[in-house]
Structure 1
Amino acid sequence: MKNFLFSFFLLFSAIVFSQTKVSGVVKDASGVSVAYANVIFKDSNEGTITNEEGRFYLESDVSYDTVVFSFIGFGSKEVALNKRATYEMEIILEEETGTLDEVVIYTGKISKKNNPALDILEKIWRNRRDNGVKKFDQYKYDKYEKLEFDLNTIDSALIKSSVFKGMEFIFEQTDTSKVTGNTYLPIFINEAYSKVYGDNIINEEKEVLEGNKNSGFDNNNTLIAFIKDLYNDYDVYDNYLKFFDKAFTSPLSRTGKDVYNYVLLDSAYRGNKWCYNIIYYPRRKNELTFKGDFWVNDSTWAITEINMQATKSANVNWVREIYIEQEFDVLNDSTFLIKKDYFLSDFSFRKKEGARGVYGKRTTLYDNFEFDKPKEKSFYSKQVDPYDYAVYNRSDDFWKERRMEELSKDEVGVYKMLDTLKTVPRFKTLYNVGSVLATGYYEAGNFDIGPVFSVFGFNEAEGLRIRLGGRTYFSQNDPWRVEAFGAYGFRDERFKYGVSAKWLLDRNSRLIIFGGNRKDVEQTGASLTNSTDVLGRSLASSSLITVGANDRLSRINLTTAGFEFEPSKNFITRLTGSYRTLESATDTFSIDYFDENGEIQSTISQPEITLGLNYTPNRKTSGYGVERTVINGGNFPTFYLGYTYGLKDMLGGDFEYSKVQALYTQPWNIGGFGRMYTTVEVGKIFDPVPLSLLSPIPGNQTLFSIYNSFSQLDFYEFVSDTYASFHMQHDFGGRIFSRVPLLRKLNLREVIGFRAVYGQISDENIALNASNIVYRAPEDIYYEYSVGIGNIFKIFRLDFNFRGNYLNEAENPDARKFGVTGVFGFEF
Structure 2
Amino acid sequence: MKIRLFYLLIFITTSVSAQITLKGKVVDEFNNPLPFVNVFLQNTTYGTTTSDDGKFFLKTKKYRGTLEISFIGYKTQVLKVNQKTKYLNVVLKELSNELEEVIVVTKPKKRLKKKENPAYRILKEVWKRKRKLGLNLVDNYQFKKHTSIEIGLNNLDTVFIKRIFKKDYEKAISEIKYDNDGINYYIPVYLREQVANVYGNNKENNIRTDIEAEKEEGLGAQGFVFDRMSNTFQNIDVFKNNITLLQKSFVSPLSSDGFATYDYVLYDSIVKNKKKLYNIYFFPRRNGDLAFQGNVWVADKNYSVKKIKMKVHKSINLNFVRGLSFEKEYEVKNDSIYLSTKNAYDGDFTFLDKNESNKGLTIKKTILFKNYILNKPKPSIFYTQKNIKIRPDQYTKKQKYWKGVTDEENKSTYKLINSVKQKKEIKNITGLINTVASGYINTNLGIQFGPFWTAFASNQVEGFRTKIGFRTFKTKDDRFRLGGHIAYGFKDKKVKYGAEARYLLSYKPRIAVGLAYQDDIEQLGSVLLNTTQLLGRSFGTTAILNRGDNFFLSRVKKVAANFDYQIKMNLHVGFNLSHARIGTASQKDFSMNYLDEKGNLRSQITDVASDIYVSYTPGRFVYGLGVERRFGRNIFPTLVLNYRKGYKGPFNGTHSYDKIQFKYTQPILLGKFGLLDATIEGGKTFGTVPIGLLNPVPANQSLSLVKNTFSLLNYYDFVTDTYAATHLEHHFNGFILNKIPLLKKLKLRSLVTFRAAYGTISNNNIAINKSNINYNTPNKMYYEYSVGVENIGYGNLRFLRIDAIWRSNYTPPAGSVVSPTPKFAIRIGIKPGL
Q: Which category describes the TM-score, using the shorter chain as reference length?
A: 0.7 to 0.9
Cα deviation per residue 1:427-451 (whole Å; 9 max; x = unaligned)?
3444444443333223330222233
Distance 2:312 2:736 in 1: 19
Give the TM-score normalised by the residue count of structure 2.
Answer: 0.85
Q: Structure 1 436/365 Cα, relative in aligned 2: closer, same or farther at 3 Å?
A: closer
2:234 counterpart residue number = 232
Q: Structure 1 452/109 Cα, relative in aligned 2: closer, same or farther at 3 Å?
A: same
Distance 1:642 1:670 in 2: 31
Structure 1 residue 292 displacement after superposition: 2.2
Distance 2:628 2:106 in 1: 63
Distance 1:759 1:66 in 2: 68
SS of equivalent residue, structure 1 residue 288:
coil
2:389 counterpart residue number = 385
Q: Which amino acid aligns with 2:217?
A: S
1:745 counterpart residue number = 745
Q: Structure 1 192/615 Cα, relative in aligned 2: closer, same or farther at 3 Å?
A: same
SS of equivalent residue, structure 2 residue 422:
coil
Give the TM-score normalised by the residue count of structure 1.
Answer: 0.86
Structure 1 residue 219 displacement after superposition: 4.4
Q: Structure 1 512/757 Cα, relative in aligned 2: closer, same or farther at 3 Å?
A: same
Q: Which amino acid aligns with 1:625?
A: G
Q: Which amino acid aligns with 1:476?
A: K
Structure 1 residue 207 displacement after superposition: 2.1
1:9-48 to structure 2, matched below 5 A, reads: 37-38=37-38
2:402 counterpart residue number = 399
SS of equivalent residue, structure 2 residue 640:
strand
Structure 1 residue 679 displacement after superposition: 1.2
1:795 counterpart residue number = 799
SS of equivalent residue, structure 1 residue 230:
coil
Structure 1 residue 460 displacement after superposition: 1.3
Q: Structure 1 386/220 Cα, relative in aligned 2: closer, same or farther at 3 Å?
A: farther
Q: 2:364 aligns with which of 361, 366, 382?
A: 361
SS of equivalent residue, structure 1 residue 417:
helix
1:662 counterpart residue number = 662
Q: Structure 1 501/689 Cα, relative in aligned 2: closer, same or farther at 3 Å?
A: same
Whether 1:491 and 2:491 are equivalent positions in the alignment is: yes
Cα deviation per residue 1:322-377 (whole Å; 9 max; x = unaligned)?
22222211111111111122222221231123333222222221111123314434
Cα deviation per residue 1:210-238 (whole Å; 9 max; x = unaligned)?
12223356946856743453111122221
Structure 1 residue 760 displacement after superposition: 0.9
Whether 1:467 and 2:453 are equivalent positions in the alignment is: no
Contact between 2:551 and 2:589, CA under 8 Å: does it hold in 1?
Answer: yes
Distance 2:582 2:279 in 1: 72
1:821 counterpart residue number = 827
Contact between 1:27 and 1:92, CA under 8 Å: does it hold in 2?
Answer: yes
1:278-293 to structure 2, matched below 5 A, reads: 278-293=280-295
1:379-778 to structure 2, matched below 5 A, reads: 379-387=383-391, 389=393, 391-396=395-400, 398-402=401-405, 406-408=407-409, 411-444=410-443, 445-531=445-531, 533-586=533-586, 587-630=588-631, 632-633=632-633, 635-778=635-778
Q: Structure 1 706/310 Cα, relative in aligned 2: closer, same or farther at 3 Å?
A: same
Cα deviation per residue 1:631-685 (whole Å; 9 max; x = unaligned)?
x146322111111111112222111111101111122222122222211111001
Contact between 2:731 and 2:752, CA under 8 Å: does it hold in 1?
Answer: yes
Cα deviation per residue 1:377-436 (whole Å; 9 max; x = unaligned)?
46435342254625233424x234445xx333xx42221222222333343444444443
SS of equivalent residue, structure 1 residue 352:
coil
Contact between 1:150 and 1:184, CA under 8 Å: does it hold in 2?
Answer: no
Distance 1:449 1:769 in 2: 42
Q: Structure 1 87/663 Cα, relative in aligned 2: closer, same or farther at 3 Å?
A: farther
Structure 1 residue 84 displacement after superposition: 11
Q: Structure 1 280/514 Cα, relative in aligned 2: closer, same or farther at 3 Å?
A: closer
1:132 counterpart residue number = 134
Cα deviation per residue 1:735-768 (whole Å; 9 max; x = unaligned)?
2222222222222121221111111111111111
Q: Which amino acid aligns with 2:741?
A: P
Q: Name the stretch that deviates more: 341-350 or 146-155.
A: 146-155
Contact between 2:788 and 2:803, CA under 8 Å: does it hold in 1?
Answer: yes
Structure 1 residue 585 displacement after superposition: 1.4
Give % identity. 33
Q: 2:322 aligns with which of 320, 326, 336?
A: 320
Cα deviation per residue 1:39-88 (whole Å; 9 max; x = unaligned)?
599xxxxx99748997599xxxxxx9995448xxxxx9978657799996
Distance 2:545 2:67 in 1: 67
Q: Name the stretch that deviates more: 653-662 or 339-348.
A: 339-348
Distance 1:319 1:65 in 2: 25
2:785 counterpart residue number = 785
Q: Structure 1 146/511 Cα, relative in aligned 2: closer, same or farther at 3 Å?
A: closer
Contact between 1:240 and 1:250, CA under 8 Å: does it hold in 2?
Answer: yes
1:132-171 to structure 2, matched below 5 A, reads: 132-156=134-158, 158-159=160-161, 168=169, 170-171=172-173
Contact between 2:723 and 2:759, CA under 8 Å: does it hold in 1?
Answer: yes
Structure 1 residue 23 displacement after superposition: 11
Q: Structure 1 166/479 Cα, relative in aligned 2: closer, same or farther at 3 Å?
A: farther
Q: Name the stretch that deviates more: 586-595 or 531-540.
A: 531-540
Distance 1:143 1:89 in 2: 48
Structure 1 residue 532 displacement after superposition: 6.5
Structure 1 residue 480 displacement after superposition: 1.7
Q: 1:207 aligns with which of 193, 209, 215?
A: 209
Structure 1 residue 108 displacement after superposition: 4.7
Contact between 1:306 and 1:327, CA under 8 Å: does it hold in 2?
Answer: yes
Contact between 2:146 and 2:367, CA under 8 Å: does it hold in 1?
Answer: yes
Q: Name the stretch that deviates more: 760-769 or 808-817.
A: 808-817
Distance 1:103 1:666 in 2: 44
Distance 1:448 1:474 in 2: 9
Distance 2:59 2:197 in 1: 38
Contact between 1:720 and 1:761, CA under 8 Å: does it hold in 2?
Answer: yes
Contact between 2:219 and 2:427, CA under 8 Å: does it hold in 1?
Answer: no
Structure 1 residue 184 displacement after superposition: 4.1
Q: Name the stretch that deviates more: 439-448 or 223-232.
A: 223-232
Distance 2:533 2:423 in 1: 40
Q: Structure 1 493/416 Cα, relative in aligned 2: closer, same or farther at 3 Å?
A: same
Cα deviation per residue 1:241-271 (whole Å; 9 max; x = unaligned)?
2222222222111111122222222222233
Q: Structure 1 227/461 Cα, relative in aligned 2: closer, same or farther at 3 Å?
A: closer
Distance 1:141 1:56 in 2: 46
Structure 1 residue 698 displacement after superposition: 0.7
SS of equivalent residue, structure 2 residue 672:
helix
Q: Which amino acid aligns with 2:273?
A: G
Cα deviation per residue 1:178-206 (whole Å; 9 max; x = unaligned)?
6x666441413322211112222333323
Q: Structure 1 473/322 Cα, relative in aligned 2: closer, same or farther at 3 Å?
A: closer
Distance 2:214 2:104 in 1: 56
Distance 2:68 2:680 in 1: 63
2:192 counterpart residue number = 190
SS of equivalent residue, structure 1 residue 412:
helix
Contact between 1:148 and 1:186, CA under 8 Å: does it hold in 2?
Answer: no
Contact between 2:39 and 2:68, CA under 8 Å: does it hold in 1?
Answer: no
Q: Structure 1 26/261 Cα, relative in aligned 2: closer, same or farther at 3 Å?
A: farther
